Each structure stands twice: as C-alpha cells, then as structure tokens.
C-alpha cells in the first residue's frame, strides 16, 4: 500500500514538458543581430514550459528529422540528431525549468542582411556542412523536434514552415 501511495504521489507531482508555438507570445520575433548590431533577424522559437508540479531537470531540444519539400515533392534529409539552442544566450546547455516557468528554444533564424536575400539557418550549436545549401532556396521544411529532460517524459512535435528567399518572412501556423 505504501509503495502504491508513493507512486501516486510522484506521478501527481511530476514535471510535465509543454511545447507550443504561440501567437503574440514571443515565438516569432524580430531582433538585432551582431555586436554592434549589423542587421535584423527573425527567430522562430518554441515556448518550452513546465506545466507540472516539480522542476524539469536538464532539458534540451533536438532536431531529429528534416523533410525538405520543393514543387510538392518531399525528400527526407539524412543527418544525425542536431542540438537546438535556448534563446537569450543559453546556448545548447541543458536547462532546468521551475514549475510554472517557461523558456524559448530557437528553431530557425532568418537573417535580413542588407546586401542580398535573407539567410535561413537552423538554430543549432553545430551545422553539418552538407546541410548548408539545403536552406538557400524556396522550400517547405518540416522539422521533427524532440524536447527531452532527465526527469520528464519527452515531447515530440513537428515544426513546419515555408521559406522563400524573395521574402523577408517565414510562413507557418501557430498552435
């Protein structure tokens, strides 16, 4: 009986990872880039929130799959798992999230450079060379993202957006 009550207590008080793309809540922002600022950049970010009753420990995000669609023809891109970075200078280091708190995780950035078309980049700690050309032409991208932590169930979600180098915006749907 005691073991069952202990299990119920831990289940009720567990941390819960919530991952959302919320309109007008900082998930698509424009900011200055460079130090000193040289140009503007737009960031597509996921809101990673702890909706449970205890702290999330060592939370990280990963791009687990990439599908690149051109002219209606999808192609899965072979690559290893890539680590996403936290916004606000958090890098790819694991982050603890107290109950009721949230942080943003950058997924992609769109640099609005003054001398040329916008530059689309994954917001990862390290970008493999074979992916560099993938993000230069018009396409629809579908990224499989996994948010995981030491003490909470992982959350998988798809982030889908359209990129056109002739436009200074990404097209996507909020949750």
Give the residue with greater pLDDT, 128 vs 145: 145
Q: Residues 132-142: what's their mean pLDDT? A: 94
pLDDT digits (tens, 9 = 90+) for 39-95: 999 999 999 999 999 999 999 999 999 999 999 999 999 889 999 999 987 799 999
Residue count of the chain, please give it. Answer: 175
User: Could you write out the DSSP letters of every residue in 61-119?
Assistant: EEEEEEEEEETTEEEEEP---EEBEETTTTBTS-EEE-TT-EEEEEEEEEEE-SSSS-E
**SS3 assignment for 109-164:** EEEECCCCCCEEEECECCCCHHHHHHHCCCEEEEEEEEEEECCEEEEEEEEEEEEC
- Supply the mean pLDDT for the chain: 93
pLDDT digits (tens, 9 = 90+) for 116-136: 999 999 999 888 988 988 999
Q: Residues 24-39: what's their mean pLDDT? A: 93
- Check residue 11 and give its pLDDT: 63
For the entire predicted model, the pTM comes to: 0.92
User: From CA 88, how far away is CA 72, in angstroms rounded?
Assistant: 36
DSSP assignment, residue 48?
E
Which residues is 132 bridged to in the sheet?
A: none
Q: Indicate whether 143 pLDDT > 90.
A: yes
């Amino acid at each position: 009986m005691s073991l069952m009550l202990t299990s119920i207590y831990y289940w009720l008080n567990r941390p819960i990872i919530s991952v959302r793309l919320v309109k007008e809540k900082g998930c698509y922002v424009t900011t200055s880039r460079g130090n000193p600022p040289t140009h503007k950049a737009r960031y597509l970010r996921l809101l990673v929130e702890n909706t449970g009753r205890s702290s999330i420990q060592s939370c990280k995000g990963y791009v687990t799959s990439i599908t690149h669609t051109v002219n209606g023809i999808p192609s899965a891109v072979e690559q290893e798992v890539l680590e996403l970075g936290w916004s606000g200078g958090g890098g790819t280091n694991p982050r603890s999230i107290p109950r009721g708190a949230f942080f943003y995780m950058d997924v992609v950035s769109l640099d609005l450079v003054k001398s040329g078309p916008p530059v689309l980049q994954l917001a990862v700690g390290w970008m493999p060379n074979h992916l560099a050309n993938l993000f230069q032409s018009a396409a629809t991208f579908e990224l499989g993202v996994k948010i995981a932590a030491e003490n909470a169930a992982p959350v998988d979600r798809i982030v889908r957006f359209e990129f056109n180098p002739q436009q200074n915006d990404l097209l996507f749907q909020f949750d």
